[in-house]
Amino acid sequence: MEETLCERCKNELFSQANRKLCEKCAEQLFEKVKGFIAENPDNSIKEIAEQTEVEKKYIKKWIREGRLELMTPEAKKEREKALDFQKQFADLKETEQKEAQEPSQEKEKGRFHTRK
Ligand SMILES: [Zn+2]
């Protein structure tokens, strides 16, 4: 198993793919950003990142997760992206389920069927 260390405190992270921060650091940074936004709601993600020294990718992630409420157009875009992704994922799941229910012959036909 690949060993991963927290980007911030260098503590070991256990089997958490796509995560670069330990729980503790993530919470600390989150609180820092949240506090900053409460006082500076109009700052851009870039400005927030610079002022709080928290990487933009984390700020964007929290916005997408709905944990940070930021009203700038940039943040709105991030939220829309997240919603789009969720929608696509839901659509995909639905398609998979439908295909699984259909008999295999029907499935082959369906593949070349164009929607009107
Ligand atoms: Zn850490």
Q: CA 110 to CA 15: how far, in whole Å?
A: 41
Mean pLDDT of all residues belonging to the chain: 85
Ligand 1 midpoint to CA 99 (Å): 44
Q: What is the pLDDT of residue 115?
A: 58
In the predicted structure, residue 108 carries a pLDDT above the cut 70: no
Residues flanking ion ligand 1, Cβ below 5 Å: 6, 8-9, 11, 22, 25
Instruction: Report, as an integer, the average pLDDT of 58-65.
Output: 93
Ligand 1 midpoint to CA 28 (Å): 9
Ligand 1 midpoint to CA 27 (Å): 9
Ligand 1 midpoint to CA 114 (Å): 52
In the predicted structure, residue 48 carries a pLDDT above the cut 90: yes
Of 28 and 41, the structure prediction assigns the larger pLDDT to 28
